Amino acid sequence: MKVSTPVSDARTPLPNSSDVDNIVDAAVQRAQQWLAATTSGQSRSEAKSTEQLAALVREPQGVEFTMGFVDRVARPEDNEVAARELRSLANPFGANSIPDFVGLVDRGLVSAGALMARKLPNVVMPLARKRLRQMVGHLVLDAEGKALNNLLDKSKEEGFQLNLNLLGEAVLGETEAKNRLQRTIELLKNPRVTYVSIKASSVCAQLNPWDIEGNTERLKERLRPLYRQALQRSPHPFINMDMEEYKDLHLTIKLFTELLSEEEFLNLEAGIVLQAYLPDTFEALRTLCHVCQGTPRERRRTDQNSPGQRRKPVHGTCGGGDPRLGAGPLPH
């Protein structure tokens, strides 16, 4: 299926742009309502955790340090490999500094661990992983543990649907990419799980940036079992196709539109995330709407199914506008 992108200048105001200006105040008010609902009824520990998470996002190096610690320090099973990465990431005498959001005590622990990791990796790294579990245990749960099921049950009773996203951003090889996909499939086998997110770049290692057609075919082949697993349940769990970086934008859109237009997936409701802060997002959204409304298969699907069965693009900010719960095997 060919996807044509309408040519226009995204910076040129649309004829009805005044409509957007008129709802700014309403949007601000709605955001304030959400913020008030989030903070009301919080315990002291929950409020402290929320502030620490906000501080992480505010600091320029906060997210980069956190993702580096999770991917490079916490995930490797080899203590010597993890220790080497800890020294590189948090050596107090190196070029990288530890962000302030970590806190004075934890900065001291991380700095001491980075200095001692070289000689005592089998002592330092288990302690570092244990401390990580203590710090993020309220945000990240073991995908195979009872705690996740208990939280899903509680959230359902309260009327909430949780979006589960496996921990970790970087994929270090083909074996890990396949394992990550299989763990997401296993999540969908859990009848309590109704919503998962997946990144194309996380299920296929070493994608060639110059071969978008080849990448698309590889990814469709890799992802079909995941979407087929969703079809086996009724109602179908929702799969949200996320993206990690701007360079993945056009590949992800092409993959999403082609995969979900295949005959076997026409009745499957699914989503795609667009980062609202990207200049290209407006044109990407127009492309998705054009494809969903204009292709022969989509028109046939619209005629045959109720509105609730149609595929819909989901737009928001990655990590900011879409509340997520990370789920994955925590380091031990």
**Is 70 exceeded by the pLDDT of residue 181?**
yes
Q: Evaluate whether 330 touches 167 at the Cβ level (below 8 Å).
A: yes
Residue 171: pLDDT band by 50, 70, 90 thresholds? low
User: What pLDDT score does 60 carry?
Assistant: 75
326: left (phi over 0), alpha (psi -120 to 50) or beta: beta
Specify the amino acid at residue 20. Answer: V
pLDDT given for residue 134 in this prediction: 73
Token pair 């076997």 in the structure block, residue: 264
More confident residue, 195 or 98: 195
Q: What is the pLDDT of residue 231?
A: 94
Q: What is the pLDDT of residue 322?
A: 37
Q: Is the pLDDT of residue 80 over 80?
A: yes
Q: Could you tell me the pLDDT band of residue 95, with boundaries at 50, 70 and 90?
A: low
Query: Which range in 36-40, 59-63, 149-153, 165-169 is most confidently predicted, on average pLDDT?
Result: 149-153
How far apart (Å, rounded) are the C-alpha atoms in residues 101 and 98?
A: 9
pLDDT of residue 186: 92
Lookup: tokens for 196 = 């998962």
pLDDT tens-digit series, residues 253-268: 999 999 998 999 988 8
Kindly report the CA angle at 166 between 159 and 284, in degrees rounded to 5? 80
For residues 297 and 86, the model is more confident at 86
| Order of strands, sheet of 140-141, starting from the edge strand that comes earlier in the sequence | 140-141, 325-327, 164-165, 195-199, 238-242, 270-275, 314-316
Q: How confident is the model at residue 224 (pLDDT cuts 50, 70, 90)?
A: very high
Q: What is the reported pLDDT for 212?
A: 87
Q: Give me the pLDDT at residue 324, please.
A: 33
Confidence of residue 159 (pLDDT cuts 50, 70, 90): confident
Task: Give pLDDT, residue 318.
Answer: 34
Angle 44-58/24-39 helices, nearest 10 degrees? Answer: 140
